[in-house]
């Protein structure tokens, strides 16, 4: 019975309309809200950690968000998309369909499977698959060719420093 | 007394006595050592066809007194060069990574889609061109698993699960994920774990003669190599790989926010979902990773001209 109810719940949650309507976000940290999506734009307000926001727009590295108090632009990495309760609903349905839901173990025999620590521990070397993997190895110049075909050009940028 | 005997054997095998103090830690290290020792015991009992670990040449780097327990069997007639754990050569690193990756492939084979495998190699190779170890023979693959995860092994091996691949929406996101894994290899994160734990001291001197050969002995060297992939790296190593991955993708001309996008997606996956069980066990929560990335990124990307996402070229899996 419990499993049956869960199925219904999961299928209900999987509605695409739900997933798309008015995206919600949560502030990962305190940050400044600005009038425009630029670092030197006028300050119009601030975000506190864990504030809920409505995400209105996205431009480059910036999100336009609406808080209870004001509307403004904030750096994309300061906001976590979705609310705490959102989850991968489609995946949940797949789990139910394949008999994986709620067991903590792979019970399906559908071919596609999980990869648990236990699986990895008991894994045996597979020479054939390794040969296949090796057969796809590309040279640096082949990578370059692929990049050019997509209009990608290399840019110089230093690695970022860590923070505490 | 059995436990004592076991310990003595372990000391002989691993030459790393300080490891025992860590047995109570969360990592399964103690268990792994025990398992490895059991295997070794079996091997010795069966008069195994391979020489035991602590042969004279592999013992040269350790106090002689610790090796006596594990040398009842004959030592090989010819001395083999040791696997240089202090400073492995590129070839040794690749041989080690091949073992680990081959075991992973034993747990989950490649997705049977040549175009897909070629595509991830093209993206991965181009991102790897931007790193300090572009000289490695980088190899990328998508493996048949519904889990959401990606793996790197020493020497330039990177695998991503089909489950994670299917969450991606464009090439920049793929580049970000591969960049994160490439960073692990560049910084030798996994290799350092192995070195530190001296786990692979079983037959440490035996790996170098495996180069380029198909030899069962390799399995004795690292046991089930894939297991390393189930263990956690230092949190700081994950944050470092995030920072580097984001920069590597940016250097390659991609939109910088591919990796953060993927972290956002993973962050919205329910923790109780089986597909992220291992990922969440072995990595800091995506929220924490995003926060850390944001702290480090600051305004650093403000002057980078906008990169490409290339969703049109992205190879879609049904």
Judge if B104 and B167 occupy the same domain. Answer: yes
Judge if B72 and B95 occupy the same domain. Answer: no
pLDDT-derived band at B25, boundaries 50, 70, 90: very low
**Sign of the CA dihedral A33, A38, A39, A40?**
negative
- pLDDT above 90 covers a percentage of chain A that reads 55
Largest CA distance in chain B: 68
Judge if B169 and B26 occupy the same domain. Answer: no
Q: Do B300 and A160 touch (CB under 8 A)?
A: yes
Total H helices, total E strands in chain A = 6, 7
Residue B105 lies in a domain: yes
Q: What is the pTM of this model?
A: 0.72
Residue A29: pLDDT over 80: yes
For residue A46, the SS3 value is: strand
Q: Which helix (H) or strand (E) holds B161?
A: strand B157-161
pLDDT score of B218 = 45
Chain B residues close to A25, C-beta within 8 Å: none
Q: Span A24-81: which CATH code?
A: 2.30.30.40
pLDDT score of B226 = 67
pLDDT single digits (tens) B211-238: 444 444 444 445 556 666 767 778 899 9
Q: Do A60 and B106 touch (CB under 8 A)?
A: no
pLDDT score of B115 = 98
B253 conformational bin, left if phi > 0, alpha if psi -120 to 50, beta if neither: left
**Interface confidence (ipTM) of the complex:** 0.72
Beta strands in B197-297 (DSSP E): none
User: In the structure encoding, which two tokens stand for residue A19, read together?
Assistant: 């997933």
Indicate the residue of B270, B274, B281 with minimum beta-carbon distance to A104: B274
Judge if B74 and B94 occupy the same domain. Answer: no
Note whether B220 and B73 are within 8 A (CB): no
The single residue listed with the structure tokens 């409505």 is A54
Chain B residues close to A136, C-beta within 8 Å: 117-118, 121, 139-141
Judge if B64 and B126 occupy the same domain. Answer: no
Q: How far apart are CA B318 and CA B309, in angstroms?
A: 20
Pick from B197, B208, B146: which is nearest to B31 by CA? B197
Indicate the residue of B144, B251, B275 with minimum beta-carbon distance to A155: B251
Chain A residues close to B287, C-beta within 8 Å: 28, 80
Indicate the residue of A115, A133, A153 with minimum beta-carbon distance to B141: A133
The single residue listed with the structure tokens 């560049």 is B186
Chain A residues close to B299, C-beta within 8 Å: 39
Q: How far apart are CA B245 and CA B182, in angstroms?
A: 7
Question: What does the domain layout of chain A look like in residue ranges?
Answer: 24-81
Q: How far apart are CA A102 and CA A116, in angstroms?
A: 15
Q: Which residues contact B208 (CB under 8 A, 6 or more apart)?
A: B80, B81, B82, B83, B84, B92, B95
Judge if B12 and B104 occupy the same domain. Answer: no
Indicate the residue of B267, B292, B304 with minimum beta-carbon distance to A155: B304
Q: Which helix (H) or strand (E) holds B106?
A: helix B90-107
pLDDT score of B31 = 43
Q: How far apart are CA B109 and CA B9, in angstroms?
A: 35
Q: How far apart are CA B251 and CA B230, in angstroms?
A: 30
User: In the structure encoding, which two tokens stand for residue B21, read together?
Assistant: 């103090």
Q: Do B269 and A88 touch (CB under 8 A)?
A: yes
Residue B84 lies in a domain: no
Backbone angles phi, psi at B262, to 5 degrees: -65, -40
Alpha-carbon distance A62 to nearest alpha carbon in chain B (angstroms): 10
Mean per-residue pLDDT, B25-48: 42
pLDDT single digits (tens) A75-101: 999 999 876 444 333 333 333 333 333
Judge if B130 and B261 occupy the same domain. Answer: yes
Q: Do A129 and B256 touch (CB under 8 A)?
A: no
Q: Do B141 and A136 touch (CB under 8 A)?
A: yes
Q: Which residues contact B318 (CB under 8 A, 6 or more apart)?
A: none
Burial per residue of B138-164, b for 16 or more beta-carbon CB atoms within 10 angstroms, e otherwise:
bbbbbbbbbbbbbbbbbbbbbbbbbbb
Q: What is the mean pLDDT of chain A?
A: 76
Overall number of domains in chain B: 2
From B78, B108, B140, give the residue that closes a domain: B78
pLDDT score of A96 = 35
What is the DSSP code string of B164-183? HHTT--SHHHHHHHHHHHHH
Chain A residues close to B141, C-beta within 8 Å: 133, 136
pLDDT score of A123 = 85
Judge if B73 and B178 occupy the same domain. Answer: no
Residue B152 lies in a domain: yes
Judge if B99 and B71 occupy the same domain. Answer: no
pLDDT score of B225 = 62
For residue B131, the SS3 value is: coil
Indicate the residue of A92, A126, A162 with minimum beta-carbon distance to B273: A92
Expressed as residue numbers, the domain containing B33 is 1-78
pLDDT single digits (tens) B177-203: 999 999 999 999 988 888 776 554 544
pLDDT score of B141 = 98
Indicate the residue of B106, B126, B145 with minimum beta-carbon distance to A143: B126
Judge if B150 and B25 occupy the same domain. Answer: no
Chain A residues close to B121, C-beta within 8 Å: 136-138
Q: How far apart are CA B80 and CA B61, in angstroms?
A: 14
The single residue listed with the structure tokens 């083999």 is B80
Note whether A49 and A74 are within 8 A (CB): no
Residue B287: pLDDT over 80: yes
Residue B143: pLDDT over 90: yes
Judge if B51 and B94 occupy the same domain. Answer: no
Q: Do A136 and B291 touch (CB under 8 A)?
A: no
Q: Do A115 and B145 touch (CB under 8 A)?
A: yes
pLDDT single digits (tens) A9-18: 444 343 333 3
Pick from B245, B255, B256: which is nearest to B178 by CA? B245
Q: Strand A31-34 to strand A43-47: parallel, antiparallel, or no bridges (unpaired)?
A: antiparallel
pLDDT score of B269 = 83
pLDDT score of B278 = 85
For residue B145, the SS3 value is: coil
Judge if B125 and B249 occupy the same domain. Answer: yes
Note whether A31 and A78 are within 8 A (CB): yes
Residue B264 lies in a domain: yes
Mean per-residue pLDDT, B63-76: 41
């Amino acid at each position: 019975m419990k499993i049956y109810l869960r199925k219904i719940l999961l299928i209900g949650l999987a509605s695409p309309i739900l997933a798309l309507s008015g995206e919600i976000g949560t502030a990962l940290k305190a940050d400044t809200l600005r009038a425009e999506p630029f670092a030197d734009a006028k300050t119009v307000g601030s975000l506190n950690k864990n504030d809920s926001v409505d995400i209105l727009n996205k431009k480059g590295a910036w999100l336009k968000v609406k808080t209870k108090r004001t509307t403004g632009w904030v750096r994309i990495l300061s906001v976590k998309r979705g609310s705490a309760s959102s989850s991968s609903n489609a995946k949940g349905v797949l789990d139910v369909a394949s008999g994986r839901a709620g067991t903590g173990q792979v019970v399906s025999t559908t071919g596609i499977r999980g990869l648990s620590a236990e699986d990895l521990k008991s894994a045996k070397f597979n020479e054939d698959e390794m040969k296949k993997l090796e057969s796809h190895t590309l040279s640096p110049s082949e990578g370059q060719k692929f990049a050019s075909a997509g209009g990608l050009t290399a840019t110089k940028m230093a690695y970022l420093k860590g923070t505490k | 007394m059995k436990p004592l005997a076991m310990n003595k054997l372990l000391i002989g095998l691993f030459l790393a006595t300080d490891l025992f103090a860590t047995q109570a830690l969360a990592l399964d290290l103690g268990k792994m050592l025990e398992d490895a020792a059991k295997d070794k015991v079996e091997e010795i009992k069966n008069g195994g066809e391979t020489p035991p670990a602590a042969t004279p040449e592999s013992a040269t780097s350790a106090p002689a007194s610790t090796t006596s327990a594990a040398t009842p069997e004959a030592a090989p007639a010819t001395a083999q060069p040791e696997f240089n754990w202090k400073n492995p050569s590129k070839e040794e690193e690749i041989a080690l990574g091949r073992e680990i990756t081959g075991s992973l492939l034993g747990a989950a084979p490649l997705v049977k889609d040549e175009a897909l495998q070629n595509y991830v190699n093209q993206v991965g190779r181009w991102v790897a061109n931007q790193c300090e170890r572009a000289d490695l023979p980088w190899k990328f693959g998508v493996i048949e698993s519904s889990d959401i995860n990606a793996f790197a092994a020493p020497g330039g091996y990177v695998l991503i699960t089909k489950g994670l691949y299917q969450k991606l929406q464009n090439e920049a996101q793929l580049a970000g994920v591969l960049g994160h894994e490439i960073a692990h290899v560049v910084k030798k994160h996994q290799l350092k774990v192995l070195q530190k734990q001296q786990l692979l001291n079983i037959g440490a001197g035996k790996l170098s003669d495996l180069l380029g050969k198909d030899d069962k002995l390799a399995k004795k060297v690292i046991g089930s190599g894939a297991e390393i992939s189930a263990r956690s790296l230092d949190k700081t190593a994950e944050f470092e790989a995030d920072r580097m991955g984001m920069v590597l993708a940016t250097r390659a001309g991609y939109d910088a926010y591919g990796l953060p996008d993927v972290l956002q997606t993973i962050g919205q996956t329910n923790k109780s979902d089986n597909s992220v069980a291992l990922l969440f066990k072995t990595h800091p929560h995506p929220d924490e990773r995003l926060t850390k990335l944001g702290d480090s990124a600051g305004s650093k990307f403000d002057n980078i001209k906008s990169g490409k996402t290339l969703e049109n070229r992205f190879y879609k899996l049904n």
